[in-house]
Amino acid sequence: MATIDTALNVLTFSWLTGPIFDKELRIASRRRRNYVFRTLYLLILTLILLLFWLEAVRFSYRSAASQASEMYMVGMGITAIVVWAQFCIAQIVGVIMLSTSISDEIYNKTLGVLMTTPINSMQVVLGKLLSGLLQLLVLIGVSFPLLAIVRVFGGVPWQFLLSGFCITMTAVIFVGSVCMFFSIFCRRAYVVIILTILTLATLFLFLPLLTIFAVHRVIDEKIFIAVLYHLNPYFCMGVQTEVLFDPRATGFMGSVFWPVHCGIMLVSSAGILASCIAMVRRAALRQIVGASPGALSGSLSEPALERLGMAGHIRRVWGPPVAWKELLSPLTRHKILAVIFGVIGLGLLALSYGLFADHGDLDEEYCHILYGVIFFSLGLLVTIVFPATVITSERESRTWPALLGTVVDDWNILFGKVIGAIKRCLPAWLPLLGHVWLFTLVGYIHPVAIVQISFLVFWTTVFLLGSGLYFSSRFKHTTTAVVMNFILGAVIWALVPFLLFMILAISRSSDDLGEAYMDLNPYVHLCSTLDATARQGNTLRYDWISGGQSDVWKSSFWMLFCGWIYIAIGFFFAWRAKKRLRKNIF
């Protein structure tokens, strides 16, 4: 029996995952939000499939050959959308699910207890990772019936589905490994999410762009594309999609092979997981000998505070107490990590400016649009995450009932949380505003861009701040609130325009409504402003999606109108958050 039991453990890989894997699966199976998210995901994909099918069959007078050709293109289009949706959504969900995978065990002081059992650090790390991957596999699996239906349309090779699935899974494993690495150092989920997204953006977006400008003159283009194909999952997936629509676009495919890319990603993930296993063991040993939970992350323990004379010191409160507390709290408890990221970021930014200047492109509008989109996305990411954590973090640390039991009224509590969220979001907008100010002084950007982009940053922050406060008051867990704020932005700025254009195309209506809705998008405002103000000669002619050009006064009025709509919605969300402060306290 002992031999049989050992053989079963080896065959079922229980020696690799241990009881942690089983425990995480039992917890996930009891969470209602997992089932709700899968249902919504499947419904959205089904709706997209229905709209594509209606678009394909809306002309009844077509010949059979024409309809077959249309179905061929519809099948490829739906498959590409579903595969890319899986590729992006799986990574986002993986980051959110694994953001507190290790920190929960460290700060709840259960990691040391786990190390006193036969469970080792490898089983802790791999059990957490694989349990999250299994949930993502279930999410991806619910779309397989839709892909099977699409295969009936024809034109979709099985090689694309296989390569898309493998590239997605290896990318998710790498992203999950990076997320678990930061989870060891950072307690808060939102810090882990932001650090992971910034790391991925640097590795797979910013560094490749810098490399293109730096080495394109001295290296063969095919060699560079082959290297980028094997190292960058986003570029690899893009190439596979291009080959799906145009099989003739295979000029360099003889030198690339997507399984090689998957192998490189798995080896990189294994290296990150090995370091995670070593650091988890170190954190567990520290906890066993009585070190504080923040010892590994660099925060001060109680003895250290006593030596510095900080323990037991009573400070006088001035002004609203919640706002006072939020203003005095540090932006980050990981100063060394923040300095490292800051130095690396400034170095890469200076290098990119130098490369653009060497090519003589710093006075081109596309250059400033590129920087504007990158910096705006950074600010948008932080503004989505931080406001959604201000109340849920109090609930998770069990201080929310105590705060509501004081004499501080609801408006003062909400005002203090708003001040804290603004304090944490403001540094993320400084790169965008600093870029505009710098090149306005140099003379490459017209000064009117300072006013317009500052107002764009203002109303975007107010809108996402209000929605984040509402979701933070509505849900108990930080992860759920952050996900809902992400979903809100994705729905109103990506999903609704896509569905609107599909419906207008099916009904053979004019695209004026869809184009007018697109002009409400903050990215459209940003690109239109930089295109008009950074253009050589500073013509101040704004190109909007709804058609035609507009002067600076009409464009400014339109931006003010859109901004006040978002500000009103943001205040409505904040008012609803105030109404819910004393509901679902525990």
Calpha distance 177→129 (Å, rounded): 8
Examine the fold and report which residue of 233, 255, 288 is the final residue of a domain before the chain moves on.
288
List Cα–Cα distances, 348 to 203, 208, 209, 476, in angstroms: 12, 12, 11, 39
* Domain-embedded: residue 4: no
Reported as type and span, the H/E element at residue 28 is helix 14-28
Question: Do 422 and 563 reside in the same domain of the chain?
Answer: yes
List Cα–Cα distances, 398 to 272, 326, 357, 585, in angstroms: 33, 17, 53, 10
Cβ 94 vs Cβ 172: under 8 Å: yes
Q: Return per-residue pLDDT of the chain as tens, 586 residues.
A: 877 766 666 665 666 667 777 777 777 777 777 788 788 888 888 887 777 777 666 654 555 656 666 666 777 777 888 888 888 888 888 888 888 778 777 766 777 777 777 777 788 888 888 888 888 888 888 877 777 776 665 667 778 888 888 999 999 999 989 988 888 877 777 778 888 888 888 888 888 877 777 666 666 667 777 778 888 899 888 888 888 777 665 555 555 688 888 999 999 999 998 888 888 878 777 766 665 555 444 444 444 444 444 445 666 777 778 888 887 776 666 677 677 777 887 887 888 888 778 777 787 888 889 889 989 998 998 899 889 888 888 887 788 888 888 888 888 888 888 888 898 889 889 999 999 999 999 888 888 999 999 999 999 999 999 999 999 998 887 878 888 898 899 889 988 888 888 788 777 777 788 888 888 999 999 999 988 888 665 567 888 887 766 788 888 899 999 999 999 999 999 999 988 888 877 6
Counting the structural domains of the chain, the total is: 2
Instruction: Give me the pLDDT at residue 297, please.
Output: 47
Question: Do 163 and 21 reside in the same domain of the chain?
Answer: yes
Calpha distance 273→126 (Å, rounded): 8
Range of the domain at 506: 361-579
Instruction: Give me the pLDDT at residue 85, please.
Output: 83
Examine the fold and report which residue of 288, 319, 347 is the final residue of a domain before the chain moves on.
288
Q: How far is CA 528 from the centre of its chain?
A: 24
Three-point CA angle 247, 209, 370, nearest 5°: 100
Tokens of 530: 């930089």
Calpha distance 225→223 (Å, rounded): 6
Question: Do 123 and 29 reside in the same domain of the chain?
Answer: yes
Question: Do 494 and 400 reside in the same domain of the chain?
Answer: yes
Three-point CA angle 244, 247, 252, nearest 5°: 105
List Cα–Cα distances, 244 to 51, 85, 158, in angstroms: 21, 16, 11
Calpha distance 40→44 (Å, rounded): 6
- Residue 383: which of 453, 465, 326 has the closest Cα? 465
* Domain-embedded: residue 336: no
* Domain-embedded: residue 343: no
* Domain-embedded: residue 152: yes
- Quick one: 505 exposed, middle or buried, by C-beta within 10 A (0-12, 13-18, 19+)? middle
Cβ 176 vs Cβ 203: under 8 Å: no
